[in-house]
Every structure is written in structure tokens, then in C-alpha cells.
Chains A and B, each alone.
Chain A
Amino acid sequence: MTPQELKTSILNLAINGQMTNKVPWKDEPNGIYKYLWEVTAWDKKFKDVEKHKQPKVIKYEYVLAKDFKKLERTDGDIYLLSTGNYAGYTTEDVAGSLVSKGEVVTMPWGGSPTIKYYKGRFVTSDNRIATAIDTQVLSNKFLYYYFLSQVKYLDSVYRGTSLRHPKMALVLEMRIPVPSIQEQELIVKKIEELLPLVNGYGNAWTKLEELNQRFPIDLQKSLLQMAIQGKLVEQRPEEGTGEELFQRIQTEKVQLIKEGKIKKEKPLPEISEKEKPFDIPESWKWVRLKEICSKIVDGDHNPPSGVNAETDYLMLSATNINHNCLCELDKVRYLTKDIFEIENERTKATEGDIFFTTVGTLGRSCVFDGQKSVCFQRSVSVLTTFVYNFYLKNVLDSSYIQNYMIANATGTAQKGFYLNQVERLVIPLPPLAEQKRIVSELEKLLPLCERLK
């Protein structure tokens, strides 16, 4: 039950008489119900309303929106009756002849039915203003709560395309119950006891909604963090250590360099204690991303412009990497086969590679299934790793890496996390078999979190 639903329900109960009688009132001829025009006076003669329905008109000075807020003074005691959520006060000196006085119920001329009640001195903006013709017959407060209970209907009465205005003829034809003044006052009293409680309910309800939205996301982050700290699955000595895996990778790299398949690399600085963000199991090892990849490249810093026709050769940007897959493929650059082949020399996207956004919306990644011909603009980096690619992807998804990237991205218009920073990222490395077990466990748990959303 939303707070608004509760409020409307209570107001309706009050206004149809059920708070004060056993059965709701019936709208019968010569009964309790009257036309609004019979009991209220307004601030203008409305052109689509018959003359006899508006014998009395009470005019008020009003101020247009653009000048309204200028009247505000902190020490003022004259209420600024706006057409929206704004409220403030002004002084007699500032407002001068704009000051009105009375007990009124107001409805904005434009926008949506933000109904207000005020008694005292005020300056009004462009509101339609109603007041009871005879306060011994109709209480203005009762009128106010009646309008509040009819907000849905009133909203439908606001017509127009760009600017909506209430069709006053319809408003004046509304049927309002008018019981005795004593009963009206009792109903108002009851409503005013209940509304603060409805507000309290609204506050708690909103907090609960926010909590329920945050929780599944926080839980996913928590599970990922647990995984990359080695606490999700047990360590098994027979699977070896991160150190052993690391050495095997280095040996493989040396071989690839000999075969000319990758370039010789400058050694990266050793990882200092300060750079290690949390404790990991003894059998794991902290490594730099470059040390466990055979390829880390970014997309073209000077991408060619595409062709108009759709082709099979796509140039992607960061927008196309989201939700762990390629997306929004209607918004890509198409290239000719020849241009693609030149671009592809740079990134050589292969099945199993990880695409990783490093400019703009940072840190999104996906594992490539090899099903398309893709090359990239600068905002995406491509990694080929020696370790289990889905494990590495999960590390990149963790709060640890995500927060690190955000904290260390540079740039003014668009934040970027550049290639040399990517290469230096500090990654926790378990043995290969354990990486597989971790991913398997996450694949069971993370979808359960999705269901909580």
C-alpha cells in the first residue's frame, strides 16, 4: 500500500460520511449532496459556466510565477501561496497592494491539482481561488479535504497538451456532500488526527522501499568481495598455489616472446604492502593485471568515421558494453571490410577476450563469445588473459576494482582510466581450479540476488 493510496482511502472514508455514520451518504435528490457552484464563490467569472451559477465573484490580486519568489523575506508573516510545492513568506512593505486576506481553498491554473488551504493574509500566484459562500453551511476546511479526496478526478479535469488548465465548468458541477456544520467539523478533526500518522507511514514506507532497493545490490557486492578474498570457497592444497600458477604463466610468456607472438615487456614495479587492499589466503598471490595477460590494448584513439549502410563489421564504444554483454547494437559505427581489417590489427578481438570500458562509464565488462566482427573506439580495452576469464571478469566487477577505478580516473569532461593504469591493477590470484570453483559458486548465488530485486 503506497502512502498516497492510504491517504486517499482515509480521505474518501471521511468525505463519504463513513467516519461519522455507519453507512456512506447517498447522492439523492434533495439529499446531502450539492453542486459546488451552489456553495462556493470563486475569483473569476469562468467563461464556460452559466451566469446564474456564479452570482458572486471575489477578486484577488495575483503575481505571476517569475516575480513570485522575489517577494520572499525571512522575517515575513504574509504567506506566499504558490501554485506548486514552494512556500515562503513576505512582508507588507514588499507586497503592498498584492496582499489579500481571507479563508481560501486554491487550485493552480496550470499544471496539476496541488490544492491548498490558507486562512490569513497571503499573496497568491496564478491560482483559482474558492471560498464557502456561507461558512455556517460549508466549512472551508471541509471543502479543502473534499478536494484532496478527489485529486484523481481533478487531475482528469486538467486539459491541454503542453500546458494543462482545469476545465472550470466541470469543477463547478462536482457534487459535494454538505452535512451539518457540526458533522463537517468533526470529520475535519478526525482527518487532522490521522494525516500526521499517514505522513509517518509515508516516511517509513519510503525508507523501506529504499532499503529493499539497496539490499540486493549490496548483497551482490558483498558476495563478490567474499569471493575475491578467498572466503567463498575453501582452499584445497592439492590444487596448487597462486604463486605456482604465476610462474607457469611467466614461463608461457617467455615462450610466446620467443615465438614473436607478443612483445617483450618492461617489468612492472613490485606490489607494495600499501597497494594490497585486503588479506588473501596464503595460497593466493597478488599480481598485476599485465602479468597475467597476453594482451591488453585499448581501442583506436582516432577512429575512422563509419559508413551509412549496415555491414557485418562493427566499431563499438563504451555504450555497447553493459549487463555483461554487448548491447545497444543499433548504436554502432559500421565499417567496410577493408577498414575493419586495418582496425582489427590493433585489438584482434578473439573468443574468450574480456572487453572492459575505461572511459566514460568505467568498469563495465563482458566476455566475448566470438560471434561478431568487432573493433573498438578508445573507450574500450580488450584483454586476453592466461587465467580463467570469468574469474577475472568477476574481479573487475568487484567493488574493490570499481571504486579504485573511480577514485583514480582522470580527466575533466569525461573520466578515463588509462591503459598504463589498467596494466598495473592489483589482482588477487588463486590457483586455476579454485578460480573455476569460485565462478561456479557465484553463478549459483548472484542470480538469487537478482530475484530479490
Chain B
Amino acid sequence: MSNISGFIKRIRDIMRNDAGINGDAQRIEQIAWMLFLRVYDAKEQDWEMDESDYTSIIPDNCKWSNWAHDDKSGKAITGDTLLDFVNNTLFPTLKNLEVSKDTPIKKAIVKTTFEDANNYMKDGVLLRQVINVIDELELDDYEEVHAFGEIYENILKELQSAGSSGEFYTPRAVTDFMAKMIKPQIGEQVADFACGTGGFLTSWMKELEPQVKTTEDRNKFVNSIYGIEKKQFPYMLCVTNMLLHGLDVPKIYHDNSLLYDVLDYTDKDKFDVILMNPPYGGSEKADVKNHFPTDIASSETADLFMAVIMYRLKKNGRAAVILPDGFLFGTDNAKVALKKKLITEFNLHTIIRMPSSVFAPYTSITTNILFFDNTKPTEETWFYRLDMPEGYKHFSKTKPMKLEHFNPVIEWWNNRVEESVDGFDKSKKYSAKELEDLGFNLDLCGYPHEEEIILDPLELINQYQEERASLNAEIDRILAEIKEKLGGVEL
């Protein structure tokens, strides 16, 4: 493959000189739409060869191979002409493509991907340079596309340190671990209702692919994934990611999973497996809560997603979800109702506690993986605290978490024993009754000596409001009981 290792660096060096690119997030957004068009163009060339009646949804003048590709005849547009074309022809055309509900997904995604896309670059000459670097990618065969998929993952990883865009990216060590433990099977369907850049979906595919032996298997394989993403930018990244992983018809929808009444879901909306890292502290309009039964309608988006998951997990289905500490210790009314539902209707068999810097540098919030299935009510829940590996004080951009750091959990998984270190529980099982007696405060087997973790202000504020809400809810419950008891006595 030509020049793969220098690819990212060359583009970064060129973009650095463009005044319109302010920071990592915009740089990645800029690369994203160009990469999408290039990858889509390569795919279209395949489809044209395979399907006799294939017609593109993109008008000829907007096809990458026509406007972007430089055939060295000196006609390739650059400078102001290029800028003008991109801003005044390309973008408006793609944003206004005719799409109906009958349009096949593989064509519709062009419009949905471009709906909120932006061209930030202001220098047409630099833009031409970037286009040429992207054009150099040889995406003719499967091997090269696959190799580029790895590079693409590296681009996505940079989101972790690109300010708030980091929320769309879950470290692959974590998604790989969860996909591994969930044990995908051919024929099953996996869903991620806030799929971001598609990490869980690609980890699922990586884990499942070795099981593909026949054409029928492959068919089931490419149809096994389903994703919904609310925000434009990660949606585009996810679609491109899926195309690069060989899915011609990626079932990724640009939508908000929280805007549908959970009670309306039927079996066809349910999935065998759900893998997710829902957003926390998100902002949704207050009327989003109307789509949920009142007792579990929370203001916290992570809670609402847990509700969606519980209503969309098939009977005998399995799920693994990353949730913040707030979900575990929170005892406001909605959380208690949610956790009660989870423990009484589902089998919450394992909770893995992860150290605080897993998502660094995007955030230092502490998170946990909840594994549960829809087979029977919970009898007991195992808690396991994953400690920082030897030689690591915290994970960072230069020392990220790796799949091998999960080895202690994997070894423990099939041979579960209770363990405590220095008097602090590291792994322990609790019966459902014990959890109920604790008021569903699941903050167990936690990290002992909390070195002062400075949370990012927005997270700190969120956590404070959650804790305050929990305490206020507890106070209100007690006061309600007191009021009840003060109400009249017969002599």
C-alpha cells in the first residue's frame, strides 16, 4: 500500500497551514467527508462492475473520480476554482439529493452523511494537496481496504484528544474485550443505539469473522450489525468505517434512539445482542422523557438508554453496557426503579469496574461494564475491580489501554473466586436480595485509595447534581414517611 504510514502526518502538515482549521476536531471532520467520498467512489466502481443496472445517486460532476481525481493532464481544478466548486456546487448538490424511504440504504447514506457536513478549509491550493494525498490511496482490493481500515481506526482514535469530540470514541481495547466476552455467533444480530464511530460494531465483526465458513455465513455476517447515531459527524465516520470493513449496505441510521415510545417496541425491534457506551450527561429536550414510563423517566441520558436497551433486548438475548459510577451509586427515584427492573427482570450477572483513566484524555470519569442477559431474574451479581496494570499510573494518549490489560478479568471470568486486597474487596458476589437491601446502590468493590482525581468541570457538575439528587431523593423519601406517620392516631 502506498505511503500508509505517512498518510495521517502528511495531511496534518498540510492542514496546519490552513486558517480555517481550528484544532483537531475540525481537522478530523474535514478529512472525514473527503475520505467518505473517496471510499464511496471506490465502492461504486465495484458496484458498477457487479450490477448491470447500477446507477449512482451522485450526479457525474460531483463524483470524486471526476472532480477530485487528478489524471495529470493539467485539468485538475485547484485554488479558488476548487473552493468555489466545493462550497457552491458539491456541498449543496449532495445535501439536496432526492431521497425517499424507498431509496436503498447504500445510496441514501450519501445524503444523510452530507446533511450537516462542513468544508472548513479556506485555501484551495492546500485543499488540492489534501485531495491528492487521499486520492493516492489504493482501495482496489480487499486487502488494501482492510489495511486502510486500520489507519482509519488511528484517525478515529485521535478523537479521544480532540476535545468534546472524544465522546464519540470508545477505546478499542474496551470494545474488543466486550465483544469477546459476549461471544458472537453467526446468525445473531447486534445493535448499538448510540454507535458513535462504530467501535462496538467493528469489534463484533472482528470477533465474529473467523466463524464465517460459507457464503451463507458471510451473508448473515454482513447483515448482523445495526447502529443508530444522532450526531452528524460521528455518523459519517461510522458509515465510512462500515464501508471500509466490507459492509456495502451498512444499517446505520442517522436518528435519535430516545425519540420513540419504548412501550411501542415489538419483537422485530429487538436484538440478540446489544453492545453500547451510551452518552452521559447529554442534553435532550425535557419532552424526551414522555417516551418512557414515568417511574423510569430520568433526566440523565445514560439512564434513558438503559431503558431503551431493556425494551429492545430479545428474550434470551445478551447485553454489555458501559455506564458511569453515577449509575451504580445513584439512588434517585428513576435510577432505583431502573436498577430494580434490571435486577428483577434480567440476569445482571457481572459488573466490571474500570480505572479512571480508560477514556483519557477525553475524560477521567470512572466507568463500569455491566453484563446482563434476558433469561431470568438475577440471582446473584459478581463484581470485579480491574486494577491498573503494573507500571502504569494512569492511561494516556502515549500509554493507552490495551486488550491485554483485560487478561486478569478474562482469566477470572470462568473461574470466579472472591478476592480482597489490603482489606478492600476486589471481587465478590452479592445476592439480588443483598443488592435490594442496599437500596440498589451498586457502588461495591470500588477503588480504595482514590488519588485525587480532578474531573473535567462539566463532569464534576454532573456528578454533583447526581449526588445531590440522590441525597435529596433520600431526604424526601424519609420526610414523606415521617409525614405519613404524623398523620393522626386513634386513641
Residues of A within 8 A of B (CB): 6, 10, 13, 19-21, 182-183, 186, 190, 193-194, 197-198, 200-201, 204-205, 207-208, 211-212, 215, 218-219, 221-223, 225-226, 231, 234-237, 273, 278-279, 399, 403
Contact = CB atoms under 8 A, between A and B. Distances in A.
Given A208-B472, A235-B23, A198 B482 contact: yes
B475 A205 contact: yes
Given A197-B482, A234-B23, A211 B163 contact: no
B491 A20 contact: yes
Contacts of A399: 452, 454
Interface in B340-366: 361
B457 A193 contact: no
B489 A186 contact: yes
B403 interface: no
B361 A279 contact: yes
Contacts of B22: 234-236
A10 to B, nearest CB: 8
A231 B23 contact: no
Given A197-B481, A204-B474, A219-B461, A279 B491 contact: no
Interface stretch (B37-45, B269-277, B463-471): B463-471
B454 A197 contact: no
Contacts of A13: 486
Q: How large is the interface on B (under 10, 10 to 19, 20 to 34, 35 or more residues)?
A: 20 to 34
A121 to B, nearest CB: 33
- How would you classify the secondary structure of chain A's contact residues: helix, strand, loop or mixed? helix
Interface in B359-404: 361, 396-398
A226 B472 contact: no
Contact of A279 (B161, B457, B479, B489): B161
Contact of B471 (A183, A190, A197, A208): A208
Interface in B118-143: none
Given A197-B478, A197-B482, A223 B489 contact: no
B202 to A, nearest CB: 26
A198 B468 CA distance: 19
22 contacts: A19-B486, A183-B491, A194-B485, A197-B478, A197-B481, A198-B482, A200-B474, A201-B482, A204-B471, A204-B478, A211-B464, A212-B468, A218-B464, A219-B461, A222-B454, A223-B457, A231-B163, A235-B23, A237-B19, A279-B161, A279-B397, A279-B398
A200 B478 contact: yes
Given A200-B478, A208-B475, A226 B161 contact: no
Nearest to A202: B478
A190 B482 contact: no
B460 interface: yes
B263 interface: no
A219 B491 contact: no
A278 B397 CA distance: 9
A337 to B, nearest CB: 46
A226 B397 CA distance: 17
Contacts of B16: 237
